A = this chain, B = another copy of it.
């Protein structure tokens, strides 16, 4: 046999000057302009196909994308187009970006408000706890379908998933199509590294950015933990242990003080408390941590505010949604209309750095959500974990992050049990099985058994239009609570 039988196409890598990018959810008002600007600043070229249930929104973003190319000092050359069906977007794609959301007025607002009526004062209610699980029930079937389409239309593509709940959703992609090359991405760990940089600046008298901070990070998205941190080789651990005993790490906040704060404010008080108790540094915003380490929610609004955390207002979330039909003028519209000047800026999201690694430029290390193939020992195989990974040409390799001390592993493991139970239930649409995952969530365990069932039924009832893939009529928990 001759070696010229080798299928060269098959062995061909992605071409950095001819990339094909599919953007599912490309009508987004916030994320799409960001990505477009980041791409404009990256030294690559290709086409970007935007798909969105809201086609006009996708078209507007495509127009914006091409306008940026035409008018700006960009580095690469990108052609944008909105497409009418997902197949056209995915067909032959090298890169797939997934970032989608339902109308929060019909979904997310319920996730926030209904649990509150049962005394569950979730800060975000978007990735775990009753609201987060509900969001998972809506989203998992959609992403199963996406994974199936990827298998058909672009099985070798790298899929960047930004959609929450990242752990549930990324798990659904892999559960449906185990060979998918999907990365679950989130910037919470970056935020922690930035905070550590500011500590290093103050304590070591240096100048530092998050890129100077190397950490060993592990866990599940929004409940990640750091057990090593260095500023250019300086071990930050003894510094953290000292700072944890300072007044700044033992602040209390009143409800009045928090009244005018943004819901995104982060005083790190939850972080410091968990660090003192468990000896590891949590690496996500306090507003997320409280939903996983749920005792911080148990004091209601005052109890939450006391830690410097503020609940995301449902009105806020509804208002900041991204539909094109919104009555506000968006930045994109203002830029296109010339009413506002666009200064191209990198978002400091990791998307383009990862892309650079994949096309063979600089290797890049960042935190990524991936199936556990050993990077976190003590957590089960295949569940989605977040650790650092090394991005090289057409490959992403998780770094071994080791294991957890038992108490932390226990807390993380409980959430994995919920996630895996819901994923298992989603295979057949078994709502009663999903309810088992709901029942073992620590937030739900603070309710009586009756309240837990009623809460679940009310949540389902409020969003029944988004739950077509679940067996609602055969559900015992629904029929019992009618």
Report how far A397 CA is from B403 CA in the complex, Å: 13
Contact A239 B11 (CB under 8 A): yes
Kindly state whether residue A413 has any CB partner on chain B within 8 Å: yes
A105 contacts chain B at the CB level, 8 A cutoff: no
A452 to B, closest residue via Cβ: B295
A472 within 8 Å of B by Cβ?
Answer: no
User: How many identical chains are in the complex?
Assistant: 4
Q: Is the beta-carbon distance between B277 and A436 smaller than 8 angstroms?
A: yes
Does A257 touch B at the CB level, under 8 Å?
no
Known: A449-B295, A449-B296. A13 touches B393 (CB 8 A): no
A236–B400 CB distance below 8 A: no
Judged by a CB distance under 8 angstroms, whether A245 is at the interface is yes
Chain B: CB-nearest residue to A290:
B449
Residues of chain B within 8 A (CB-CB) of A245 are: 1
A1 to B, closest residue via Cβ: B245
CB 8 Å contact bits of A189-222 with B (1 = contact, 0 = none): 0000000000000011000000000101000000
Chain B: CB-nearest residue to A274: B449
Query: How distant is the Cα of A62 from the Cα of B466 in the complex, in angstroms?
Result: 65
For A424, the closest partner residue in chain B by CB is B406
Give residues 227-276 of A contacting B (CB, 8 Å): 228, 230, 232-239, 242-243, 245-246, 273, 276
Specify which of B246, B376, B421, B452 is in contact with A1 (CB 8 Å cutoff): B246
In the complex, A232 Cα to B228 Cα: how many Å? Answer: 32
Contacts of A56 in B (CB 8 A): none
Contact A230 B395 (CB under 8 A): yes
B402/A400 in contact, CB under 8 A: no
Instruction: For A451, list chain B residues within 8 Å (CB).
Output: 298
Q: Compute how far the CA of A318 lies from the CA of B409 in the bound complex, rounded to whole angstroms.
A: 38
Chain B residues contacting A447 (CB-CB under 8 Å) are 295, 298
* A388 lies within 8 A of B393 (CB): no
Q: Kindly state the separation between the CA atoms of A299 and B448 in the bound complex, as whole angstroms.
A: 6
A12 close to B (CB within 8 Å): yes
Contact B238 A11 (CB under 8 A): yes
A303 CB within 8 Å of chain B: yes
Flag whether A373 is at the interface (Cβ < 8 A).
Answer: yes
A7 adjacent to chain B (CB < 8 Å): yes
Contact in complex: A233, B393 (CB < 8 Å) = yes
A147 nearest CB across to chain B (Å): 21
* Interchain CB contact under 8 A, B228 and A395: yes
Instruction: Say yes or no for A437: interface residue by CB 8 A criterion.
Output: yes
Tell me the complex Cα distance, A361–B108, Å: 46
- Complex CA distance for A466 and B215, rounded to whole angstroms: 43
CB-nearest residue of chain B to A402: B373
* Residue pair B439, A407 in contact (C-beta under 8 Å): yes
Most buried by B among A2, A233, A446: A233
Q: Does A14 touch B at the CB level, under 8 Å?
A: yes
B374 and A402 within 8 A (CB): yes
Q: Which B residues touch A444, using CB under 8 A?
A: 295
Q: Are A232 and B393 in contact (CB under 8 A)?
A: yes
In contact, B230 and A3 (Cβ under 8 angstroms): no
Q: How many angstroms between the C-alpha atoms of A365 and B364 in the bound complex?
A: 11
Taking the nearest CB of chain B, how far is it from the CB of A394, in angstroms?
A: 5
A390 touching B390 in the complex, CB below 8 Å, given contacts A10-B235, A296-B449, A399-B397: yes
A239–B449 alpha-carbon span in the complex (Å): 24
The closest CB in chain B to the CB of A435 belongs to B277
Within 8 A of B (CB), among A163-177: none
A448 partner residues in chain B, CB cutoff 8 A: 295-296, 298-299, 303
A5 close to B242 (CB less than 8 A) = yes
Name the one of B236, B273, B445 contacting A11, with C-beta atoms under 8 angstroms: B236
Q: 8 Å CB contacts to B: which residues of A427-463? A: 435-437, 439-440, 442, 444-449, 451-452
A-B contact pairs, 19 of them (CB 8 A): A1-B245, A6-B203, A11-B234, A11-B235, A214-B392, A216-B395, A276-B476, A277-B436, A277-B439, A278-B436, A295-B447, A298-B447, A374-B374, A398-B399, A406-B420, A407-B436, A410-B413, A410-B440, A413-B413
Pick the 8 closest A-B CB pairs, nearest first: A13-B233, A374-B374, A410-B417, A233-B393, A407-B436, A397-B399, A299-B448, A398-B400
Q: Contacts A3-B239, A7-B238, A277-B436 given; 19 further ones with Cβ under 8 A?
A: A1-B246, A2-B242, A11-B204, A13-B233, A13-B234, A233-B360, A235-B394, A295-B446, A295-B452, A296-B448, A299-B448, A374-B374, A374-B400, A398-B399, A398-B400, A406-B421, A410-B440, A413-B413, A445-B446
